Chain A
Amino acid sequence: MPALPQLYPYKAGPIEPIVLPGETVGVWVNKRYTFFEVLYIEGITRSDPLEFDFGAIAAQALTAVLPLALLDMPNAEFAQYRAAVIDDISVILYQGRADQRHKLGSRVATYTKYTDLLDPDGHSGEFYVFEQEHAFGQAGNQTDYPITTARMVFWGFRYVLQELKQWTWLSKLPTVWTRVPATAHL
């Protein structure tokens, strides 16, 4: 008997889809899960179009919180992303605009060159974008000199969905489903 694939969010190692076509996901947006069947999955390669430049940053300075609109998906789709910074910067991820991801009680973990160094597959920084629910980023220049580019690159998988209206978050849950944290869990 073939072994079942071990698929789940944030899985260590090279990125894999978190479900298979035909399976059910609950996408966390607006503080509730909405349920979908996954119809189709395809890869999003780490490539030039998936690179975002926060621009020039003065020494030790921060950018504004900028929308990562390049990561937006069409309606009824979400994407699973991993990310790495290319320049010597530190990036805070937001989903929505004022909600930081990877946060602790008093600190927020960021993406840096050291994240890539110790977690080359990027699983600890995995995140999800549903439709046009922007991710946002804020970059800080780690260095003591001005930098002209502050780049971050993304890769992952695209998921095409069909809503399952028979399931609802507050009253009737599917028996088996995978959680997709597409916004910050406050």
Chain B
Amino acid sequence: MATTYVKPAKGIRKVSAIIAVAAANTPEVLYQRTTGGTNPRTVILRKLMIYNNTGANAVVTVGVGLGVAFAAIIPPVYSTNLFDNEWTEDDLPVDEVGVDDDLTVQATVAGVQVQAEVEEIGS
């Protein structure tokens, strides 16, 4: 029986602004997905870049939703004070489906700098 493979996604790469997390343990928008076309696009996280010079180690979580609706889309990552961290496609879960929402982020320490690279699927 033939094996079926999922085709690689065909999207365009975009990046978020570099944000400094405003408040500890409070989700905020990291990447605002594009909704100006006929249908909103789907967002796939492809790279995560973090720099932490807050004076304390931090746990950073990327997800969707704000407030109590926040839901992680990857496990929390640990950001060591005065270190930079990059999680690339090799490190992130393979995802050819994505999320139909803005990406949000929360960190246990305010001031952690975060940027996401995404692939947007749409038209």
Chain A residues proximal to chain B, CB less than 8 Å = 59-60, 88, 90, 112-114, 117-118, 140-145
Contact = CB atoms under 8 A, between A and B. Distances in A.
A120 to B, nearest CB: 12
Contacts, number: 33
Contact of B36 (A113, A114, A117, A141): A141
Interface residues of B, number: 12
A19 B1 CA distance: 48
Contacts of B10: 114, 117-118
Interface of B is mostly: loop
Contacts of A59: 36
Given A88-B14, A117-B12, A144-B34, 6 more contacts: A88-B12, A114-B10, A114-B122, A114-B123, A143-B36, A144-B35
Interface string B14-37: 100000000000000000111111
A144 B32 contact: yes
Contacts of A90: 37
A140 B12 contact: no
A140 B33 CA distance: 16
Contacts of A112: 37, 123
Contacts of B14: 88
B32 A142 contact: no
Contacts of A143: 34, 36
Nearest to A113: B12
17 contacts: A59-B36, A88-B14, A88-B34, A112-B37, A112-B123, A113-B12, A114-B123, A117-B10, A117-B11, A118-B10, A141-B36, A142-B34, A143-B34, A144-B32, A144-B33, A144-B34, A144-B36
B32 A145 contact: yes
A91 B36 CA distance: 13
Interface in B16-62: 32-37
Nearest to A57: B36
A58 B77 CA distance: 36
A141 B36 CA distance: 7
Contacts of A118: 10
For A88, A118, A140, A141, the residue with the greatest tally of chain B CB atoms inside 10 Å of its CB is A88
A59 B32 CA distance: 12
A114 B9 CA distance: 12
A88 B41 CA distance: 12
Nearest to B40: A144
A60 B12 contact: no
Interface string B94-106: 0000000000000
Contacts of A140: 36-37
Contacts of A60: 35-36
B12 A114 contact: yes
For A59, A112, A144, the residue with the greatest tally of chain B CB atoms inside 10 Å of its CB is A144
